[in-house]
Amino acid sequence: MHERDAGNAGLCMAREDELRLVLRAKRGHADAFRELVDAYKERLFAFVWRIVRHHHEAEDICQTAFVRAYESLESYSSQYAFSTWLFTIAYRLCLNHLRKHKAVSGEMDFSRISQDQADAPTELANSEEARRLRDLIWAAADKLSPPQKSAVLLFYREGKSCHEIGLILSMPAVTVKSHLHRARAKLRKLLSAELVDDWMAIDYLSDSSFG
């Protein structure tokens, strides 16, 4: 198993458990859908918030995504993971939100980041240094386009494959790879290459980094 996959293997519910709950929810068992909500609400909120950058609006989008998922359960195909289907719904809601508000990503003045801040240590643990590094990178990530940022989130945080991300973002897997490549290149321009490389090497997308 790839290191990234190994680090994210426990993030999502097993496919068989998802399918069991979806089938029960289709038969009218509200408790089954509640289990699905509980399993993914935090990860979905983290994903949505990183795109819209507004707590209340992110909550509204997540709530709407779950409502639409529940109302559309009959159209869900077990060919795909429930989480992939759910994130697809949420991503489209995010895009609609951004279009309505004509949002632009990122407002941080990178000229204020000193060279000392960009010189991250080689070894990073669960420390203030790791948190500071995450904050710097995510501030830079706000300069990415919504598809680039979403691809980064889904690949590194959710452990989704390029194929799965393509389903969510409605684009070919090769385009997803291009977004990931361009996102990393843009981050390396905004910050030091060493900082980006260190960031990619640590579990920077733990729940604690979304506080």
Residue 159 has a pLDDT of 84
Exposed e or buried b per residue across 22-38, where buried means at least 16 C-beta atoms within 10 angstroms of its C-beta: bebbeeeeeebbebbee
pTM of the model: 0.65
10 Å CB burial of residue 75 (0-12, 13-18, 19+) is: exposed
- The values of phi and psi at residue 158, to 5°, are -90, -10
Residue 14 has a pLDDT of 84
Q: How is residue 41 written in tokens?
A: 């609400």
Q: Where are the domains of the chain?
A: 3-101, 110-210
> What is the third-level CATH fold of 110-210?
Arc Repressor Mutant, subunit A (1.10.10)
Residue 194 has a pLDDT of 53
- The values of phi and psi at residue 104, to 5°, are -115, 140
Residue 200 has a pLDDT of 53
8 Å CB contact between 158 and 59? no
CA dist 207 and 188 (Å) reads 24
Q: Shortest CA distance to 105 belongs to which of 148, 67, 72, 60?
A: 148
Task: List per-residue pLDDT tens for the chain, 211 residues long.
Answer: 333 433 343 456 788 899 999 999 999 999 999 999 999 999 999 999 988 888 899 999 999 999 999 999 999 988 888 999 999 999 999 988 888 875 444 433 333 333 333 333 333 334 455 566 667 777 777 888 889 989 988 987 788 999 999 999 999 999 999 999 898 888 777 776 555 555 554 433 343 333 3
Amino acid code (one letter) for 131: R
CA dist 211 and 198 (Å) reads 21
8 Å CB contact between 7 and 203? yes
Q: Which CATH class is domain 3-101?
A: mainly alpha
8 Å CB contact between 191 and 140? yes
8 Å CB contact between 152 and 158? no
